[in-house]
């Protein structure tokens, strides 16, 4: 049986994937042959694919987050300021520059390529020109993961291979289909951004974002329905609240310790 892991998008909640991998490997003694990721799932998936024998890598990410904490604060401030956001939404292709993401991913992946991975690895991004999900399984990891994590609106689209790429989670958040395409026979999916139904909205932007999250949830469900096992983790934090990473990790550990049998 070829086991595959599909890791979904969710910004800083991607830390939950680390807790998930650690728990599922510990409890099941399972070995994954394939990993696919979208956005935060691609960041964690890439690290796992390079070294699948190491199933606890919180410390690696912790070091990166601490080292770049000031940059994360700047990013968080830029994205949460409405005045700045509105202006940049109209006069640029993204609120913030994605140099920050690039610098961080460079510290993690350097010049590593997909061919350096010990197990099969693939990521998804979305091309805004052709309106198609793009599957990337070769080339430099940093380019692919950068494209897959490129939150639309927050950052300008990334130009790669003649395409304008943004976060694959813009359309479908957990790449189960890619895991199948890479040969996965038993697919375990981890969704860290499930939509929570609500009926109050802080303003019109919140309302529009909510309706769009319902669309994405329906598309993602279409993929999740084909996985053999689906786990989910919910935490009400903004995707860029990187200072909350440790609380998320601890909560995720509790959730997965309870849910994985």
Partner 1 sequence: MKIFMGGLFEGIVWDSGALSNILMQDNNIELTVSGASSLIGFFYGMHGKNFYKYLKEFIEEKDNPIKPLINSDLFSSRYQQAITLLKLGTSGLELKNQTTFSKYLDSHFGTLTIEKLKHRVDFEVFDIKTGKFFLLDRKIRISQVLLSELSILPYYRYTELSDMFLIPSSYICLSPYNLSPDGLIISYEAGGSVFKAMNAAEILLKISYARTRELFRIISKDIELITCESPLEDPLDSVAFYDGMKTCQKYMEGKLEL
Point out which residues bind partner 1 (CB under 8 A).
Answer: 82, 85-86, 88-95, 126, 128-129, 131, 152-153, 156-157, 166, 170-172, 195, 197-199, 201, 203-205, 207-208, 210-212, 214-219, 222
For residue 73 the two structure tokens come to 């604060």
For residue 121, the tally of other CB atoms under 10 A from its CB is 28
Q: Which is nearer to partner 1, 173 or 235 (CB)?
A: 173
Q: In angstroms, what is the minimal distance from the CB of 55 to partner 1? A: 34
Q: Which is nearer to partner 1, 77 or 129 (CB)?
A: 129
Q: Which is nearer to partner 1, 14 or 94 (CB)?
A: 94
How far is Cα of residue 186 from the mean position of the Cα atoms in its chain? 21
Q: In angstroms, what is the minimal distance from the CB of 232 to partner 1? A: 15
For residue 62 the two structure tokens come to 């912790």
Q: Which is nearer to partner 1, 23 or 127 (CB)?
A: 127
Q: Which is nearer to partner 1, 23 or 164 (CB)?
A: 164
Q: In angstroms, what is the minimal distance from the CB of 208 to partner 1? A: 6
Measured distance CA(28)–CA(23) in Å, rounded: 8
Q: In angstroms, what is the minimal distance from the CB of 214 to partner 1? A: 6
Cα-flanking dihedrals φ and ψ of residue 30, to 5°? -95, 150
Q: In angstroms, what is the minimal distance from the CB of 112 to partner 1? A: 29
Measured distance CA(9)–CA(235) in Å, rounded: 13
Q: DSSP strand E in the chain: where? A: 3-7, 34-38, 120-127, 132-136, 158-160, 163-167, 186-191, 229-232
């Amino acid at each position: 049986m070829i086991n595959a892991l599909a890791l979904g998008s969710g910004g800083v909640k991607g830390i939950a994937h680390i807790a998930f991998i650690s728990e599922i490997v510990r409890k099941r003694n399972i070995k994954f042959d394939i990993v696919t990721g979208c956005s935060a799932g691609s960041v964690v998936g890439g690290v796992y694919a390079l070294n699948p024998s190491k199933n606890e890598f919180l410390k690696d990410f912790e070091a990166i987050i601490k080292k770049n904490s000031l940059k994360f604060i700047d990013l968080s401030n830029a994205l949460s300021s409405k005045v700045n956001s509105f202006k940049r939404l109209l006069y640029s292709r993204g609120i913030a520059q994605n140099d920050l993401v690039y610098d961080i991913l460079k510290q993690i992946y350097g010049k590593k390529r997909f061919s350096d991975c010990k197990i099969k690895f693939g990521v998804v991004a979305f091309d805004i020109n052709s309106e198609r999900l793009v599957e990337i399984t070769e080339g430099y990891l940093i380019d692919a993961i950068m494209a897959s994590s490129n939150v639309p609106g927050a950052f300008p689209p990334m130009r790669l291979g003649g395409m304008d790429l943004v976060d694959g989670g813009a359309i479908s958040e957990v790449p189960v289909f890619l895991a199948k395409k890479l040969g996965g026979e038993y697919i375990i999916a981890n969704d860290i951004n499930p939509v929570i139904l609500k009926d109050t909205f802080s303003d019109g932007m919140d309302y529009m974002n909510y309706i769009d999250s319902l669309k994405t949830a329906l598309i993602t469900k279409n993929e999740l329905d084909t996985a053999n096992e689906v786990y989910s983790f919910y935490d009400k934090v903004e995707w860029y609240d990187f200072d909350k990473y440790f609380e998320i990790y601890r909560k995720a550990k509790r959730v997965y310790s309870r849910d994985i049998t």
